[in-house]
Structure 1
């Protein structure tokens, strides 16, 4: 399914996507809301919705690369559990991408706002839940694995705020500083996104010049994001991410039900 061959982007449009990618990379690595910036940017330059969705997924590989490179201090000591979770989310991402290609894009439109809103509320209360998690060994429980798999399916299907949902899940499951959990979130959601991107690269209507421009900006923005998280107090940051998620849930709900 190739992209629209009649759609061409000029140098100013591509430059706009690079700048939007920087903003999306910062937003994604800090709050898990990269698609809140990158997806509308693609629509703004005239990319059709389905093509924008798959192009955005391919471009978001840059977010994973940049965020992982910028989060090396926070990722130390998390290798084993992240490898297990990445294997789970990679399968979920593949399932989600297949679901997008086989079903109407609006199938989950009425469910997604509830998912994002629920994750945002969960993130607000995650410190209390993490106190219970501290009694365990911080590994990958059955509940955490199933939750990550479901989030990865959603991430491969559409992905807006998948990072918020994953951050809420991991914050509730693991008692550790928010910066470390945020770094883990970037890697785990990145595994799901990478598999989905590979599927779309061969089967979806990817607009490659737009994907490349966004990806360049995403790498730069997401590399800087972990340094920002490192310097911000965790409680206000967590509240800000949760409120942004609730705002996105409201906006998507309005689009779905208006």
Structure 2
């Protein structure tokens, strides 16, 4: 790769890091750039996963105040996504490329619309159980299950997994959106770390691309956490929905 291509990957990592900590569609920016630069798709996918680990790390450090507010949920998210991502990484290495291409765009579209409708859905659910006035601050079995499934997807491909995690946690827990965003960023980190460790041992990787992505993404992830914290909840929700729709249309 040329010097300009190196700069392009660093810039892509910076943007991907910002997206990791805000709207959660980082791979839809970074993965196509790696492929456009001539890296084979499976190698680009695995390298992208490893290269974006610093984005989740920087974002999680930036959101550390929010994560301390819900330590039990934080650990549940880490464990469920880490375990799920093992299955996703195995699927990526075992299945032919493109197996999930037909369903993933619709899944992203559904989950981003769920994020948009979450306030009304939550209000309706509470109205069905007026006696249950206690806020939901712990992971239920069904929320844990869907968080784990999102971890599987994160380990397999991951594009839009942040949007999916926001939908799962937004419906399953009564938390402020800034806290949900922090948990989503940590979930992406957990899935990428576990899948990335597997890829380091058994997958073909482009270490130049990984290093360049990492350099940009750690800065972008940390900066994105500060942006995500100050965004009004309604605006953040709108941006997540728009990002998810664009992602789904692009994949279709």
User: 1:197 is matched with which residue?
Assistant: 196
Match of 1:3 in 2: none
8 Å contact 2:108–2:244 — kept in the other structure? yes
The 8 Å contact of residues 12 and 216 in structure 2, kept in 1 or not, is answered as yes
CA contact (8 A) 1:129 1:173 kept: no
Of 94, 97, 110 in structure 1, the residue corresponding to residue 86 of structure 2 is: 94
Structure 1 stretches of 5 or more lacking a match? 1-8, 254-258
> For residue 2 of structure 2, what is the aligned residue in structure 1?
10
- Over 3 Å counting, the alpha-carbon distance change for 1:138 and 1:129 in structure 2 is farther
> RMSD between aligned alpha carbons?
1.4
Q: Residue deviations 1:197-235, cap 9 Å, x none?
A: 111111111100100100110000010011111222111
Question: Is the aligned partner of 1:212 residue 2:234?
Answer: no
Q: CA deviation at 1:137?
A: 3.3
TM-score computed with the length of structure 1 as normaliser: 0.91
Q: Distance in 1 between matches of 2:34 and 2:95?
A: 22
1:179, 1:226 within 8 Å by CA — same for their partners in 2?
Answer: no
Aligned twin of 1:4? none
Check if 1:26 corresponds to 2:18: yes
How is 1:50-89 mapped onto 2 (pairs within 5 angstroms)? 50-89=42-81
Q: Does the aligned pair in 1 maintain the 2:30–2:48 contact within 8 Å? A: yes
Work out the CA distance in 2 between the residues paired with 1:18 and 1:147: 33
The separation in 2 between residues aligned to 1:136 and 1:71, in whole angstroms, is: 22
Specify the SS of the correspondent of 1:76.
helix
Aligned residue in 1 for 2:164: 165
Runs of 4+ in 1 over 3 A off after TM superposition: 129-137
Distance 2:220 2:151 in 1: 23
Q: Deviations over 1:53-110 (max 9, x none)?
A: 0000111111111001111221122222211221111111010000110011111110
Residue 118 (structure 2) aligns with: 126
* Unaligned segments of structure 2, at least 5 residues: 127-132
Between the aligned partners of 1:214 and 1:192, the Cα distance in structure 2 is 17
Q: 1:256 aligns to what? A: none
Task: Give the 5 Å matches for 1:99-110.
Answer: 99-110=91-102
SS of corresponding position for 1:24: helix
Q: Is the 8 A contact 2:139 2:173 kept in 1?
A: no
1:136 shift after superposition: 4.1
Contact 1:91 1:149 in 2 (8 A): yes
Counterpart position of 1:230: 229
Cα deviations across residues 11-48 of structure 1 (Å, max 9, x unaligned)?
32122111111011111110001112111121222111
What is the aligned partner in structure 2 of residue 115 from structure 1? 107
Q: TM-score, normalised to structure 2's length? A: 0.93
How far is the alpha carbon of 1:171 from its aligned partner? Answer: 1.2
Task: Report how far residue 10 of structure 1 moved.
Answer: 2.8
Q: 1:18 and 1:201 mapped to 2: Cα distance?
A: 21
- Once the two structures are superposed, what CA deviation does each residue of 1:118-143 show, in whole Å capped at 9, x if it has no partner? 10110011123344477443101011
CA deviations on 1:148-196 (whole Å, 9 max, x unpaired) are 1111111111110000000111111222221111001111221111100
